[in-house]
A = this chain, B = another copy of it.
Amino acid sequence: MAKKRKPGLSDLLRVPDDRPVDLSAYDARATTGGPRDKRAALADIARTGERLADLQERLWAASTAGDRRRVLLVLQGMDTSGKGGTVKHVIGQFNPSGCRIKAFKAPTPRERKHSFLWRIRRELPHPGELGIFDRSHYEDVLIARVRELAPPAELGRRYDQINDFEESLADDGVTLIKCFLHISYEEQRRRLLERLDRPDKHWKFNVGDIDERELWPAYQEAYELALHRCSSPQAPWYLIPADRKWYRNWAVGRLLLEHLQALDPRYPKADFDVAEARERLLKGA
């Protein structure tokens, strides 16, 4: 980028695309670039809520005049990493009517008959919208790799297919913000135990989550590969230290703010005669 600017959180959390990723080198309790504690983070979040909603409204307003731009937030991370909590707390600050949220589950038989990107394309945000994917096409190189749900050659091709797909999205006005919510093995244990300790959290618990947990090293490796092979200037990955929920929420909100500010959406100019419309209104019985 030729334009000089103060480095933002986006610069601090962007996964480098020139070398392999080693997740063990990233502290999941870090608070990179963030406020000094939870109280300061909550205060900052409360302060920026209105700016986020205002930028979202501008983006929407611009779309009514033909601006095709939109934002797609992709949330990935191990079970309990806080994908759902991020939607609740961060996306909860936006006007819900401009948000298109999709939580991807295991593909249905119908979905499995198509290319893995088929169901993704159907859930993309429309111009002016903020799209949120809770899991995404990356599952097809994560659980699919760990659980060997596709032949190795096919898995190998998917990284390039994802890159091509995301490039085409960027060309069509989609600002991609891909967040990997990075939690530690110990933190996941604490969170799963907490779900067991509270009867009002049992519904969130799935015995299958323990089976997945036993494959932790394989998942970390799959994430390292996905983050490395699918980071590009147009569609970078951001690694969000997520052991502290307040930092995770602050950081994702800040990334959204930085990207929306960079888009700088504007209210469209009136395409009608304002004076004439006013006169008609005042004249009416």
Residues of A within 8 A of B (CB): 61, 64-65, 84, 87-88, 91-92, 94-97, 99, 101, 103, 134, 189, 192-193, 196, 199-200, 202-205, 207, 210, 213-214, 267-270, 272, 274, 277-278, 280-282, 284
Contact = CB atoms under 8 A, between A and B. Distances in A.
What's the dominant secondary structure at chain A's contact region?
Answer: helix
A252 to B, nearest CB: 14
A-B pairs with lowest CB-CB distance, top 5? A202-B270, A61-B203, A87-B97, A88-B95, A96-B96
A205 B252 CA distance: 33
Nearest to A91: B96
A281 B202 contact: no
A284 B226 CA distance: 26
Given A92-B92, A96-B101, 14 more contacts: A61-B204, A88-B96, A88-B97, A92-B95, A96-B96, A96-B99, A97-B103, A189-B284, A196-B277, A199-B267, A202-B268, A202-B274, A207-B272, A214-B284
21 contacts: A61-B200, A61-B203, A65-B203, A84-B97, A87-B96, A87-B97, A88-B95, A97-B103, A193-B278, A193-B282, A196-B277, A196-B281, A199-B267, A199-B269, A199-B270, A202-B268, A202-B270, A202-B274, A203-B268, A207-B277, A214-B284
Contacts of A94: 96
Contacts of A270: 199, 202, 205
A279 B134 CA distance: 29
B277 A210 contact: yes
Contact of A210 (B91, B199, B203, B281): B281
B134 A97 contact: yes
A202 B97 CA distance: 19
Contacts of A95: 87-88, 92
A200 B267 contact: yes
A221 to B, nearest CB: 16
A196 B267 contact: no
A190 to B, nearest CB: 10
A277 B88 CA distance: 27
Contacts of A210: 277, 280-281, 284
Given A207-B277, A267-B200, A284 B213 contact: yes
A65 B203 CA distance: 8
Contact of A196 (B65, B96, B192, B274): B274
Contacts of A267: 199-200, 202-203
B189 A281 contact: yes
Contacts of A84: 97
